[in-house]
Amino acid sequence: MPKEAWGSRLGLILAMAGNAVGLGNFLRFPVQAVQNGGGAFIIPYLICFLLMGIPLLLIEWSSGRFGGKFNNHSTPYIMDGMGKAKIWKYVGVFGIFTNIAVVAYYTYIESWSLVYVLHAVFGTFEGMSQSDVATFFTSYVDIFTTSTGIPFEAVFFYILVLALNIFILSKGLGGIEKVAKIGMPLLILFGVILAVRGLTLGESGKSELFPDANAWDGLNFLWTPQFDSLSNPKVWLAAAGQIFFTLSVGMGTIQCYAAYIKANEDIALNAVSAGFMNEFVEVVLGSSIVIPIAAGYLGLDWVLENAGFGMAFQTMPFLFQQWGEVAAAFSGVLWFGLLFFAGITSSLAMGTPWMGFMKDEFGWGKKRGAWSFGALALIMGLPTVLLYQYGVFDEYDYWAGTVSLVVFALLEAVLFSWVFGINKGWNEINEGSDIKIPQAYKFIIKYITPLLLLMVFLSALITPYQNEWMDSISNVLNGGTWVLDNSSLIKNITNYGLKEQLQSAINQSDIDFLEKK
Ligand code: LEU
């Protein structure tokens, strides 16, 4: 029986929900939804949640609690205990590095949020034009605008946020639980207030410059289902990617949290509750803030053209100014405070696999575990801060935040159903459970989830030119060749750094065919 355990069921659910609810819910989801056709995205997204998200949650929660029974608290040890081959331990180690690479850039965004709370309070954005607000951000992260080549403010706050994470982690589960108990309710409260604003803004932001501004257009775009997207692999891949990222599956953080659940305690209901809580925050709150508020002032067309990660920091502070000085400060604190809480409850989770591993392998205590984690995160993270303009940040997001999650999820799904064995696995899921998971999930976990994960992985390998699947297939049927997109995994692995040269070497007639479409 593990000595350390969660203080209460509420604490556990809030910590697990805090792990899942993160920057992805507010920054990544709306952008993915807009870029993949709004209502066209939602159906594949929900199907991916049911067929991959829920099964992976059940796999991870039950694997974690199983490992905890043998006093294992880290993915290498938990996985090692589930399969005889030594390789599983190394798969677990691979999972740990995903966490460190994600936390490296994730805490950088966390630090922006904290800084922007302060700037909102001090009224930095007062009277700024939209382009001033946007420039404010670019010069914050820019190494070229400082004479030394080091963006000191950015580095300072990055290290401060890392230190805060180390401090909380060194307090152990109790510290994580406390932050989740404060952070999650506040996040939801802040989110609800902003969402009410988003949902009631209507046409009040209309101006001479933006006569089409209408928040309802943004909401309609997101919420009018379009079934034609169901045949487009591009949308499915984006939906699957968002599900992995938002639920924090495929990284091992859930296993490590679940390792501290007592052997006879429920996991089925807890896993499903935390998963649904994440979906509520993502689908309801995440889609009711940035998109309608931006559409309410700048119009849906602007949103469609400019939807991107930058909206949160480069546009929102300007839009808040439209509500007057006090309301702008207030909204800025709510919005960036919400992002900060969302971020920190997730980054803390990413510390636990490393700390658990050091504990299992070397018997390290919490302080040593937390400091060594912080040091690794700093070493990995400084390049994202100092070389932001060179795309280091995006590379981390691609390799750690996208590819690794799918690879790890596929391997753990195989381990659970085919090596550990679905019958044993199903018993683990149902042991002590407060709800009955439908029997169909036994079939889904064994066959459908691994198969879908394999398909996602293979499709990422061979993503066609400009992600145009239908056209590429018809090009091949017409005797052409399959032209890979630069975003395809194969290209990223083999042509790294040489993308342009190789791009120009591919068959021009195939490109012409695809571009004519
Ligand atoms: N689930 C988190 C989020 O939505 C991300 C994860 C990689 C920790 O932001």
Q: What is the pLDDT of residues 206-255, one digit of tens each?
A: 988 899 999 999 999 999 988 887 888 889 989 999 999 999 999 999 99
pLDDT, residue 201, reads 94
Q: Please, what is the average pLDDT of the chain?
A: 92
Q: Whose CA is nearest to atom 6 of ligand 1?
A: 248
ipTM: 0.98
249 alpha carbon – ligand 1 mean position (Å): 9
Rounded to 10 degrees, the C-alpha dihedral 57/63/69/71 comes to -100
Q: Is 248 in the pocket of ligand 1 (CB under 6 A)?
A: yes
* Span 434-446, pLDDT tens digits: 999 999 999 999 9
Q: Which residue has the tokens 């066959």?
A: 447
pLDDT at 512 over 70: no
pLDDT at 486 over 60: yes
Q: What one-character DSSP code corresponds to residue 6?
A: -
In angstroms, the Cα distances linking 150 to 113, 364, 400 are 20, 35, 25
Q: Is 125 in the pocket of ligand 1 (CB under 6 A)?
A: no
Closest CA relative to residue 492, chosen from 412, 402, 380, 411: 402
Question: How many Å separate Cα 148 from the centre of its chain?
Answer: 33
* Span 250-307, pLDDT tens digits: 999 999 999 999 998 999 999 999 999 999 999 999 999 999 999 999 999 999 999 8
In angstroms, the Cα distances linking 463 to 490, 510, 514 are 9, 15, 14
* Span 437-483, pLDDT tens digits: 999 999 999 999 999 999 999 998 999 998 888 899 999 999 999 99
Q: Is 187 in the pocket of ligand 1 (CB under 6 A)?
A: no
Residue 35: burial class (beta carbons within 10 Å; 0-12, 13-18, 19+): middle
516 pLDDT band, cuts 50/70/90, is low
Q: Is 242 in the pocket of ligand 1 (CB under 6 A)?
A: no
Mutation test residue for ligand 1: of 248, 339, 350, the one with most atoms within 8 Å of CB: 248
**Atom nearest to 20 CA in ligand 1:** 1
Mutation test residue for ligand 1: of 346, 398, 405, the one with most atoms within 8 Å of CB: 346
24 alpha carbon – ligand 1 mean position (Å): 5
Q: Is 95 in the pocket of ligand 1 (CB under 6 A)?
A: no
Which string of DSSP letters, residue by residue, matches 55-114?
HHHHHHHHHHHHHHHTT--SHHHHHHTT-SSTHHHHHHHHHHHHHHHHHHHHHHHHHHHH
47 pLDDT band, cuts 50/70/90, is very high
Q: Is 347 in the pocket of ligand 1 (CB under 6 A)?
A: no
- In whole angstroms, what is the distance from residue 66 CA to residue 75 CA? 11
**Predicted structure pTM score:** 0.93
